[in-house]
Amino acid sequence: MSSRRHRFGWTLTPVLGLLLLQACTVGPDYELPVIATPDAWHQRAVEGLSEGEASLQTWWQELDDPVLTGLIRRAGSSNLDLREAMARILEARARLGVASGQKLPDVDASAFFSYGEQSDQGPLGSLADLIGGFDAQELYNAGVDASWEIDVFGRIRRSVESAAAGYEASIEDYRDVLVTMYAEVALNYVEARALQDRIAYALENAEAQRASVALTRDLHDAGASSALDVSQAESNLAATEAAIPALEIALSFALHRLAVLLGEPPGALYGELSQASTIPASPAEIATGLPAEALRQRPDVRRAERQLAAQSARIGVATADLYPRFSLSGFFALEATDVSNLGDGATWGIVPGLRWNLFDGGRVRSAIQVEEARTEQALVRYERTILRALEEVENALVSYTLEQRRRERLQAAVTATQRTVELVEIQYRSGLTDFQNVLDAQRSLFVQQDQLATSEGQVTRNLIALYKALGGGWDPESPPPEPAPEGDS
């Protein structure tokens, strides 16, 4: 018995030694790259912007539009892009489970029964003569087999590290979809409201121009004007009326897109949004935060960083193939020729193993170079994502502030042109001017009112684009998203 214990202890000695070596992990240890960013936005000093703490988590509430808030809430629970992003999270989580499972042994259970008889004329025929021939025999076997790769050089640990970073990247991908989806809902909603205003202006101008057509006809019938005035008035009215269908087409497209963003059929929102309403107004002042804060908030930047971390860990996975792989396998089985005696005897064994590729024509080192090159690519993508994020914010700041100035001047132009139309119509009725001045004033008013409605919508759209560029729509302190229970989708 002491001899068996001695042999068993001698067998486990190298195994215990290998376990102590598992602290060795090859490949580079990932460190977050340090990338210089500006201390402040170039457009920070413009009126209406400040560097205070930006309220980004629910930025749409700053627009104070209950209908928009309701649409965004519905989109958050039913948008199909979000559902797809959630499925990608589940996939990445499962991949992490696959990688983590390599840390533990594989254990398989097996059992078999055989019934057979050796031929007396076979290879064991000489033995058959001694025992008087072979008889049919039964054999019962039940046991387990186990195998375990001992992660001496960290191949499995690096695989888990890469999968964990990939899982975190999928979470940031979901958040990026969330940011984009909220912005798209708001942008299309504001576009719809702006188009409704433009249609209202067109109808209002058409009504005024119909009155001008009637006036020119009356004056012509009275011999006070020419047929040219009538035809010009009719042409002006037809041109204005022709603009309305194009605006209605654009409005339909915006409503269709909005419904699809909510995961509903394209025509689902006609009844709900057919009643015109005002364009959501931007607040008097907004806070933009600092560039570093925006980069921490933006999910696409966070995702690119996690993808870089995942790729960096793959260098270690490839590097581990330069070193030997150690394994431990074993078996334990109960075996008997009679099922009633199956528990009386056992066979077992422990087999430490080593496999080391000594020559592969440079394939492993080339594989390492592949992963290193991919890591460099991931680093470049990360840096590019940061620069594009900063660019988007700066562009949004410029667009938002300058469009506000444009809207102010358009408002002044509309007010002045409205007075012009009133005066020139009075003069035309009095015979103090010709109808061409009336046409010019009416056309100018329609164009300027249309531009004003477009600009009012664009100001709010640019503000939404700014919130999107800042990564608004989620809370960095919030826990990772979890899938809804089955049946709640």
Helix, strand, coil shares of the chain, percent, nearest 5, are 65, 10, 25
Residue 268 belongs to domain with CATH number: 1.20.1600.10
- Buried residues in 379-412 as b, exposed as e (16+ CB within 10 A): beebeebbeebbebbbebbebbbebbeebeebee
Distance (Å, whole) CA 365 – CA 454: 60
Residue 13 located in a structural domain: no
Question: DSSP letter string over 386-426?
Answer: HHHHHHHHHHHHHHHHHHHHHHHHHHHHHHHHHHHHHHHHH
Is the Cα dihedral 17, 19, 23, 24 positive or negative? positive
For residue 13, the model assigns a pLDDT of: 54
Note the pLDDT of residue 3: 46
Asked, for residue 443, whether it belongs to a domain, the answer is: yes
Residue at 353: amino acid letter:
G
Determine the Cα–Cα distance for residues 347 and 334; give it in Å rounded to an integer. 6
Q: Are 311 and 371 in contact (CB under 8 A)?
A: yes
How far, in Å, are 79, 248, 255 from residue 264 at the CA level? Answer: 9, 21, 11
Fill in the amino acid letter for 462. N
Are 433 and 424 contacting, i.e. CB atoms less than 8 angstroms apart? Answer: yes
Q: Which residue positions in the chain have pLDDT lower than 50?
A: 1-11, 18, 45-46, 487, 489
Query: Where are the alpha helices (H) located in 222-362, listed in sequence order?
Result: 227-261, 270-273, 291-297, 299-319
Give a yes or no: residue 227 inside a domain.
Answer: yes
- Predicted pLDDT at 9: 47
CA pair distance 443, 109, nearest whole angstrom: 87
Q: In terms of DSSP bridges, do strands 137-150 and 286-287 run parallel, antiparallel, or are they unpaired?
A: unpaired
CA angle at 224 for the pair 222 and 227, rounded to the nearest 5° = 90
Does residue 387 belong to any structural domain of this protein?
A: yes
**Assigned domain for 356 exists:** no
Q: Which of 376, 370, 365 is nearest to 307 (CA)?
A: 376
pLDDT value of residue 51: 55
| Number of domains into which the chain is organized | 1
pLDDT in tens, 203-234: 999 999 999 999 999 999 998 889 999 999 99
Residue 116 backbone phi and psi in degrees, to 5: -165, 175
Structural tokens at position 79: 């948008």
Given this model, what pLDDT does residue 482 score?
A: 78
Q: Which residues pair with 142 in a beta bridge?
A: 111, 334
Q: Which tokens sit at 275?
A: 């009643």
Helical pair 299-319 and 155-221, crossing angle rounded to 10 deg: 150
Q: Is residue 344 part of a domain?
A: no
Tokens 């989806």, located at residue: 181
d(CA 264, CA 269): 9
Q: What is the pLDDT of residue 199?
A: 97
48 DSSP assignment: T
Question: 107 phi and psi, to 5 degrees?
Answer: -125, 125
* pLDDT the model gives residue 123: 63
Residue 137 confidence (pLDDT): 74
Q: Is 243 inside a domain boundary? A: yes
List helix spans (H) across 291-362.
291-297, 299-319
Angle at 293 between CA 292 and CA 294, to 5 degrees: 90
Q: What is the pLDDT of residue 140?
A: 84
**In angstroms, rounded to a whole number, what is the distance separating the alpha carbons of residues 426 and 441?**
12
Q: Which residues of 304-338 are buried (b: 16+ CB within 10 A; e: fewer)?
A: bbbbbbbbbbbbbbbbbbebebbebbbbebbbbee
- Three-class secondary structure assignment of 101-161: HCCCCEEEEEEEEEEECCCCCCCCHHHHHHHCCCCCEEEEEEEEEEEEEECCCCHHHHHHH
Q: Is the dihedral of CA 79, 287, 42, 461 positive or negative?
A: positive
Backbone angles phi, psi at 220, to 5 degrees: -65, -40
Place of tokens 């078996």: 331
Domain with 87, as residue range(s), is: 19-106+152-324+363-469
